[in-house]
Amino acid sequence: MAEIPLRHRSPVSLRDCNLSKSFELIGDRWTLLILRSAFWGLRRFDDFQADIDVPRSVLSNRLAALVESGIMERREYREAGQRARIEYPLTRMGQALGLPFMAMTAWGDKWLADGISPLTLRSKSTGQKFSVALVDEGGKRAKGSDIEIVIHSRFARKRRR
């Protein structure tokens, strides 16, 4: 992997950058852990609290922020003969974070655990392993040297220095 060419300033401002906007919403240790638990199917306050041992006031704040940004939903539900309770399921927007999370997990497997993955994803029908990859429209994996970054002119910032 070649070194990235030196530059002194990002060509897209933070204001226009959807990556930095994403980080503003979920780029915090507890938020990320809450989402991890949510992907496992957790939905209730006390379950989150026990699962990741987060301070209750922090959990409260983070859930409110996740609801505010549309990643989770705050919903009443009622089990037969029980009183109403609250649950926090992922919205479609939240579920769509699955792909970045899988990519992040694969990175962790490779670089933090010597390639040992506690879990793998595979096809129910064919049994083949799934993995996250950068592919073209036909599903062919991108080669590092063949990738070109195109910045939409409306967002491009003048190069300085």
Partner DNA sequence: TTCCTGAGTCTAGAATCTAGACCTAGATGA
Partner DNA sequence: TCATCTAGGTCTAGATTCTAGACTCAGGAA
d(CA 33, CA 38): 9
Asked if 16 interacts with DNA (CB under 7 A), we say no
Write the burial class of residue 34 (CB in 10 Å: 0-12 exposed, 13-18 middle, 19+ buried): buried
Query: Please, which residue, 64 or 133, has the CB nearer to DNA?
Result: 64
Asked if 118 interacts with its own copies (CB under 8 A), we say yes
CB of 20 to its own copies, least distance (A): 6
Among residues 70, 74, 85, 86, the one that binds its own copies under rule CB under 8 A: 70
**Under rule CB under 7 A, how many of the chain's residues touch DNA?**
22
d(CA 13, CA 134): 24
**Measuring CA to CA, which residue among 81, 78, 49 is closest to residue 62?**
49
Asked if 65 interacts with its own copies (CB under 8 A), we say no
Asked if 81 interacts with DNA (CB under 7 A), we say yes
Residue 32 near which of DNA, its own copies, none (CB within 5-8 Å, type-dependent): its own copies
Asked if 83 interacts with DNA (CB under 7 A), we say yes
Query: Please, which residue, 42 or 59, has the CB nearer to its own copies?
Result: 42
**Measuring CA to CA, which residue among 78, 81, 98, 82 is closest to residue 90?**
98
Write the burial class of residue 141 (CB in 10 Å: 0-12 exposed, 13-18 middle, 19+ buried): exposed
Among residues 12, 20, 25, 30, the one that binds DNA under rule CB under 7 A: 30
Whether the Cβ atoms of residue 36 and residue 104 lie closer than 8 Å to each other: no
d(CA 26, CA 101): 12
CB of 155 to DNA, least distance (A): 24
Find the binding residues for its own copies in span 13-42 (CB under 8 A): 14, 16-25, 27-29, 32-33, 36-42
**Measuring CA to CA, which residue among 118, 104, 124, 122 is closest to residue 36?**
104
Contact residues: DNA, CB under 7 A: 28, 30, 44-47, 53-58, 60-61, 63, 74, 81-83, 85-87
